[in-house]
Amino acid sequence: MSQKLLLDYGSGGKASQRLISGMFLKYLGNDRLNRLDDAAFLELSGPISMSTDTFTVDPLFFPGGDIGSLAVHGTVNDVAMLGARPRFITCGLILEEGLDMDVLERIIASVGRAARNAGVEVVTGDTKVVPRGAADKIFINTTGVGEIFVTPGPSGHSAKPGDAILISGTMGDHGLTILSKREGLSFDAPVESDSAALNHLIVRLLQEIPEIHVLRDPTRGGLATTLSEIALQSNVECFIREKDIPVREAVAGGCSFLGLDPLYLANEGKFICILPEKFADKALEIMRSDVLATNAQQIGEVRKDHPGKVVLETPIGGHRLLDMLEGAQLPRIC
């Protein structure tokens, strides 16, 4: 194969076949994918959780991950949040003519590694190559399916007054990492994306505590936006205490320097868990026993006073509404 990606690799002809057999099957191959039919045959029994996400992150490689691993983690996590075991994902690539083939190979290898670690198979895919300038290097869509094993499963609509609000760890790591890498900033302490597959921890948590009301990962828009969505969907108030929200020192410092709020920055390996107060300690114990959630904390509780709102108690005891932002602090962070 050439060192740069040619338009011909997206043609459906011989060049495409070489790309598929020489690279994609090498890193992603399994019995289902290897059949290369128009669609994949899956033994799955319902009900099923299905989620899709497109990744346009810039830069492609960053401390803690790359667009390939991120594309697997993002979709696997979303499928899991409905109370499901993610099983299969698809991989749709948009590639820019002229892309370095070794960059593509590193990314595909990373997709394969992340999928194996998460315990999912890439079962079908699609590759489009567009002329130079019609896309920026590489965009990846992944769509995942998995079997729901708790009914009723957790949902953003199910938060109840009296519930405890937990988060699985520090906020803002992914967003600040992408921004600082893109802008060439460096801080005293290094920052790193938290990108990770949460499904194994989620399954364990739900097997032990099927009474969990809400699971949601605070990605784009961060903790504040995701809690706002839940408050609106469940018509409740989410009351949280700033002093209990874990933020790494380097992230807090970087945010303060740049005028960003870590509560609005994206996370890619964290989740919000809302459940009846009496199960909170048990949930925290399970979460903290996993390397992905050692900093899990209860950060507040669900109330009925201000339906649809998120109220933050500041360290000195004041209260303020955390509104959903109009737009983005940062584009292209996932």
**Minimum gap (Å) between residue 316 Cβ and its own copies:** 27
Q: Give yes or no for residue 331 binding its own copies (CB under 8 A).
A: yes
Per CB under 8 A, the list member of 103, 209, 252, 325 interacting with its own copies is: 325
**288, 289, 305: which is closest to 297 by C-alpha?**
288
Residue 100: φ, ψ to 5°: -60, 130
Q: Give yes or no for residue 259 binding its own copies (CB under 8 A).
A: no
Window contacting its own copies (CB under 8 A); options: 246-254, 291-299, 302-310, 320-328? 320-328
Interactions with its own copies, residue window 267-286 (CB under 8 A): none
DSSP summary character for residue 171: S
Nearer to its own copies (CB atom), residue 62 or residue 250: 62
Per CB under 8 A, the list member of 64, 68, 112, 156 interacting with its own copies is: 156
Query: Hunting for tokens 């114990």 — which residue is that?
Result: 285
**Minimum gap (Å) between residue 4 Cβ and its own copies:** 14
Window contacting its own copies (CB under 8 A); options: 63-71, 151-159, 175-183, 200-208? 151-159
Q: Give yes or no for residue 91 binding its own copies (CB under 8 A).
A: yes
Per CB under 8 A, the list member of 1, 29, 54, 303 interacting with its own copies is: 54
Please, what is the angle between helix 67-80 and helix 101-118, to 10°? 30
CB 153 within 8 A of CB 83: yes
| Chain centre to alpha carbon of residue 169 | 14
Q: Give yes or no for residue 327 binding its own copies (CB under 8 A).
A: yes
Interactions with its own copies, residue window 17-36 (CB under 8 A): 17, 35-36
Build a one-symbol-per-residue string for 190-229: x at contacts with its own copies by CB under 8 A, - elsewhere. Answer: --------------------------xx-xxx---x---x
Cα–Cα dist 237/239, whole Å: 6
Q: Give yes or no for residue 141 binding its own copies (CB under 8 A).
A: yes
Q: Give yes or no for residue 171 binding its own copies (CB under 8 A).
A: no
Window contacting its own copies (CB under 8 A); options: 8-16, 165-173, 293-301, 309-317? 8-16
**Residue 120 to residues 23, 141, 268, 287, Cα–Cα distance (Å):** 19, 16, 18, 22
Cα–Cα dist 219/272, whole Å: 11
Per CB under 8 A, the list member of 38, 259, 291, 317 interacting with its own copies is: 38
Cα–Cα dist 248/244, whole Å: 12
How many residues bind its own copies (CB under 8 A)? The answer is 81
Per CB under 8 A, the list member of 26, 44, 277, 320 interacting with its own copies is: 44
Cα–Cα dist 84/153, whole Å: 8
Rg (CA), the chain: 21
Residues 64-84 as b or e (16 or more Cβ within 10 Å = b): bbbbbbbbbbbbbbbbbbbbb
Window contacting its own copies (CB under 8 A); options: 152-160, 165-173, 200-208, 313-321? 152-160
